[in-house]
A = this chain, B = another copy of it.
Amino acid sequence: MLKGSDIDFLKVSDGGSLVYKLLPVLKRDDQEPLFLQLYSQIKNEIVNGNLKRNDKLPSKRQLANSLQCSQNTIQAAYNQLVDEGYLVSRPKSGFYVAEIDGILNIQSAAPVATESKRQHSDVIFDFSYQGVDLSHFPFATWRRITKNVINESDKELLQVCDPQGYFELRSVIARYLKHSRGVSCSSEQIIISSGTEFLIQLLIQLFDRRFVYAIENPGYEKLPMIFRSSRAEFRSISLDKFGVNPDELVRKHANIACITPSHQFPSGIIMPITRRIELLNWANENPDRYIIEDDYDSEFRYSGKPIPSLQGLDENGKVIYISAFSKSLSPGLRISYMVLPEKLLEIYRKDLNFYICPVPTIEQKVMQRFMDDGHFERHLNRMRNLYKQKREKLVLAARKELTGISIEGATAGLHLVLKVNNGLSEDQLIQKAEEHGIKVYGMSRFLPEKTPGSQSCKIIIGFASLDIMDIDDAVSRLSKAWQKH
């Protein structure tokens, strides 16, 4: 037990006057980490009413001195208390007890779904398939444009823009899509929203409720959730080596095929032109058939030029093209868009035009400038190069260090698929990696219909958010983790 040197009390500023409260006691020999001990004790003081609303907590330095521990410990405890709402952090001032009346009720009555803060695990490297490399994001440019935009026009920025999105942004997106993705569209056909999930929701409302959706198996794991929560019928379609097979669409009576032809998620298949045409023909056979093309990461292809979009091949208004800036810039921007064929656009404008574009006008204007001034293209080129290097390093390391694996998926995108054949099941692969501080993701999370026992032993390895200097280390840890004992 730590002797609190010669003070047993803690100075707390109580709206001006200083009062003394009990000093927390930290047990060094306890199982519980110091920051958690500190957190619990401060929380108890708040719940008991000893620390009151607006009481100012001592600074990290002061408290670290008093308790003879590191400032990081204090920071961790304070952060947790802020996250849970017991403290508030006021910039340039410090930490204060939050206004929490009736907190005793909250404790008992509410087994409040504990804050979805991820538990601190001991993940050293995370091969996440979702993140991007933010360390190369042109923050200075983005900041400068933001400042310019907010300096310019006041009222305009706070006015609600066109329900489909800021027209000038739609124009530059249309140009970009035409030029770089072979999408044929006008700005009129573009609808800007916030995340693919919101676009899919709009489409579910746009289409006849009888329609049956087809999703790829394996595929983007949110799709079944969206269709399920919106009570839309869907079927999962297993992939052959070219992707979704139209025969299975027919067999399963699907109307709307949701596909990722440029770089199938997660398998990495590039759908060849023959299959694309087969799918368009499938759609053309019946007025109630459509294709939703999710072009989520097509900006990143590391050999040859990008695969043109399926939408560019479509002459009959059968393809809805969806994409976002999540992979190319950052998922935190929350800007996505879709291109509706004329006929669907008419229905949209008649039935759904009351939905206001959820992206703030400021954000849309910044994005438009960012693209118009060429920053987007420059950023893409820089990132393509960086991600290419990361992928190459990863492939090299994996081939050298990991036994019994083969690498699947085109040289594109921000993830690859490891087929692992070393006697371990998918669950074991994930768990053993975790025991060595490495987070990897199993293919089975992308199977809409889990069939137990059909362990594919395929692991999705994302490389975008990993530092390039850490890749070798991460792979060699993975190698150790998967070694036979």
Name A residues whose Cβ lies closer than 8 Å to a Cβ of B: 35-36, 39, 76, 79-80, 82-86, 88-91, 98-103, 105-106, 108-116, 134-135, 137, 139, 142-143, 146-147, 150-151, 154-155, 157-164, 167-168, 171-172, 174-175, 178-179, 184-189, 193-195, 197-198, 201, 205, 209, 222, 225-226, 229-231, 270-277, 280-281, 303-305, 307-308, 313, 315, 317, 329-334, 341-342, 345-346, 349, 351-363, 369, 372, 410
- CB neighbours (8 Å) of A369 from chain B are 91
- For A277, the closest partner residue in chain B by CB is B102
Task: Report 22 cross-chain contacts, Cβ distance below 8 Å, ordered by A residue.
Answer: A79-B303, A83-B303, A85-B167, A85-B275, A86-B273, A98-B272, A99-B274, A101-B277, A102-B280, A105-B280, A113-B189, A158-B329, A160-B332, A197-B354, A198-B198, A225-B354, A226-B354, A331-B356, A332-B361, A333-B360, A334-B357, A358-B358
User: How far apart sit A277 and B318, CA to CA, in the bound complex (Å)?
Assistant: 53
User: How far apart sit A332 and B150, CA to CA, in the bound complex (Å)?
Assistant: 14
Q: A100-B274, A134-B155, A143-B151 are in contact. List 10 more A-B contacts (CB 8 A).
A: A82-B168, A83-B304, A103-B273, A106-B186, A114-B188, A115-B188, A116-B162, A116-B163, A205-B230, A358-B359
Please tell me if the beta carbons of B358 and A110 are within 8 angstroms of each other in the complex: no
Please tell me if the beta carbons of A334 and B305 are within 8 angstroms of each other in the complex: no
Question: Which one, B110, B158, B305, contacts A315 given CB within 8 A?
Answer: B110
User: How far apart sit A175 and B86, CA to CA, in the bound complex (Å)?
Assistant: 12
User: How far apart sit A111 and B354, CA to CA, in the bound complex (Å)?
Assistant: 21
Question: Measured between C-beta atoms, what is the minimum distance from A70 to chain B in Å?
Answer: 15
Please tell me if the beta carbons of A229 and B351 are within 8 angstroms of each other in the complex: yes
User: How far apart sit A275 and B179, CA to CA, in the bound complex (Å)?
Assistant: 61
User: How far apart sit A364 and B351, CA to CA, in the bound complex (Å)?
Assistant: 30
The 7 closest A-B pairs by CB, nearest first: A85-B272, A194-B358, A85-B273, A80-B304, A158-B332, A158-B330, A205-B229
Question: Measured between C-beta atoms, what is the minimum distance from A23 to chain B in Å?
Answer: 22
Identical subunits present: 2
User: How far apart sit A372 and B88, CA to CA, in the bound complex (Å)?
Assistant: 10
CB-CB under 8 A for A313 and B106, given A273-B100, A332-B157: yes
Please tell me if the beta carbons of B80 and A110 are within 8 angstroms of each other in the complex: no
Question: Measured between C-beta atoms, what is the minimum distance from A451 to chain B in Å?
Answer: 22
- CB neighbours (8 Å) of A315 from chain B are 105-106, 108, 110
Please tell me if the beta carbons of B158 and A134 are within 8 angstroms of each other in the complex: yes
Please tell me if the beta carbons of A360 and B361 are within 8 angstroms of each other in the complex: no
- CB neighbours (8 Å) of A79 from chain B are 303-304
User: How far apart sit A360 and B367, CA to CA, in the bound complex (Å)?
Assistant: 13
- CB neighbours (8 Å) of A36 from chain B are 305
User: How far apart sit A353 and B179, CA to CA, in the bound complex (Å)?
Assistant: 36
Question: Measured between C-beta atoms, what is the minimum distance from A470 to chain B in Å?
Answer: 16
Please tell me if the beta carbons of B305 and A112 are within 8 angstroms of each other in the complex: no
- CB neighbours (8 Å) of A304 from chain B are 35, 76, 79-80, 83
- CB neighbours (8 Å) of A111 from chain B are 342
Please tell me if the beta carbons of A85 and B230 are within 8 angstroms of each other in the complex: no
Question: Measured between C-beta atoms, what is the minimum distance from A363 to chain B in Å?
Answer: 5
Please tell me if the beta carbons of A98 and B273 are within 8 angstroms of each other in the complex: yes
- CB neighbours (8 Å) of A333 from chain B are 158, 360
Please tell me if the beta carbons of B358 and A198 are within 8 angstroms of each other in the complex: yes
Please tell me if the beta carbons of B359 and A334 are within 8 angstroms of each other in the complex: yes
User: How far apart sit A429 and B88, CA to CA, in the bound complex (Å)?
Assistant: 35
- CB neighbours (8 Å) of A159 from chain B are 134, 330-332
